[in-house]
Amino acid sequence: MSEELNQVEVKSFEIGDKVTGQVTKVEEKQVLVAVPGSKLDGIIPISELSSLHIEKASDAVHEGDQLELEVLKVEEEALILSKRKVDAEKAWESLEQKFQSGEVFETEVKDVVKGGLVVDLGVRGFVPASLVESYFVEDFSDYKGSNLTFKIVELDKEKNRLILSHRAVVEEEKGKQKQNRLGALQAGQIIDGRVQRITDFGAFVDIGGIDGLVHISQLSYEHVDKPSDVVQEGQQVQVKVLSVDRDNERISLSIKETLPGPWINIAEKAPKGSILEGTVKRLVSYGAFVEVFPGVEGLVHISQIAHKHIGTPHEVLKEGQEVKVKVLDANENVQRLSLSIKELLEKEVEENLDYELPEESKGFQLGEVIGDKLKNLRK
């Protein structure tokens, strides 16, 4: 063995040379390395072990490790070496390929610093807080030591700048899910969803990675002034798909159409002959539509509005007026309700009642009155 060692050529090294060394001792702030062909000890300062800040050398290497190194300085008694520079040189080449191809890769979060996360990819990679998630994160402490997927969004070897994004990966995946979800949706489907946000004109509902709009008119059979009167953010709801516009990624949904229809059991809710209160919703030439239940309007035909003859319903009624109506007929199958206002009104007194004799004629018999008239005619 000693003969083999004697046969190893003693080399003289220069700054920038690449060497291979074996770790012989790990101290707190430096590592000792045996370099074949060198009479000098190899020393790696702790600052040259990793692209990241480390507290002690044992965090980066262990005794017996074979390392690829670069000569930083040749001193009389030692070679000052760097593991960091070799790792970085190899890393930049690989990272450039990942950057150009848009590759998604997984790595461990080594540290949490002010403004974001730090990873070790042979060079220090930084993940700004705004590029960690697609939502606001107040405390990143739980991220340290976890594995996340990343894409490189900025790379500059000259400035030693490497910016990564986990958010880009998440949003890209959401985009794929959205397209898949859009492709699978069909009008008429009834699915579960969650109210994401509420606007003046309706509510946006998450139906599995994609939002659809429930217009205010589709929230309830009743009239809705404000969507927040009917639904709340975070509420689980069932919706019916009304339409899917894949080109513009728009989905129209309805909560109303998943609810029991207002005409269900209408004959029980409004039996023939019953008296209901309602609101005049529309006036047309042939009558008035009166809402007696949310979403249920019945027709009061013009002939059933008043006892007297009227030319148009506007002569007697106005929209928004509260009225009492009597149910003439209720048909659930054709969603028709016939109503009457007239039948709840007292019939007007006839103008031509039986003729009443003047006061002074009382006490006379009719025959006497007629007899007197006949005598006058004879004269």
Determine the pLDDT at residue 282.
92
The token pair at 124 is 């220090």
- C-alpha 203, offset from chain centre: 9
Residue 51 DSSP label:
S
- Structural domain boundaries of the chain? 20-82, 90-170, 185-258, 266-344
Determine the pLDDT at residue 3.
40
CATH number (3.40.50.10140, 2.40.50.140, 2.40.10.120, 2.40.30.10) of 266-344 reads 2.40.50.140
Spell out, as residue ranges, where the chain has pLDDT lower than 50: 1-10, 349-364, 366-367, 369-370, 373-374, 376-379
CB-based contact 240:254 (threshold 8 Å): yes
Rounded-to-integer distance, Cα 364 and Cα 206, Å: 92
Determine the pLDDT at residue 372.
52
- The C-alpha angle 332, 335, 336, rounded to 5 degrees, equals 105
Tens-digit pLDDT profile for residues 146-158: 999 999 999 998 8
Q: Would you say the CATH fold of 185-258 matches that of 90-170?
A: yes
Determine the pLDDT at residue 50.
86
CATH number (3.40.1160.10, 2.40.50.140, 1.20.1070.10, 1.10.3720.10) of 20-82 reads 2.40.50.140
Look at the pTM and tell me if it is higher than 0.75. Answer: no
Residue in 307, 306, 304 with CA at minimum distance from that of residue 339: 304
CATH number (2.60.120.650, 3.40.50.300, 1.10.3470.10, 2.40.50.140) of 90-170 reads 2.40.50.140
Q: What's the CATH superfamily of 185-258? A: Nucleic acid-binding proteins (2.40.50.140)
Helix (H, G, I), strand (E, B) or coil at 23: strand
Determine the pLDDT at residue 89.
87
Tell me the HSE value of 354 on the side-chain side, using a 13 A CA sphere.
2
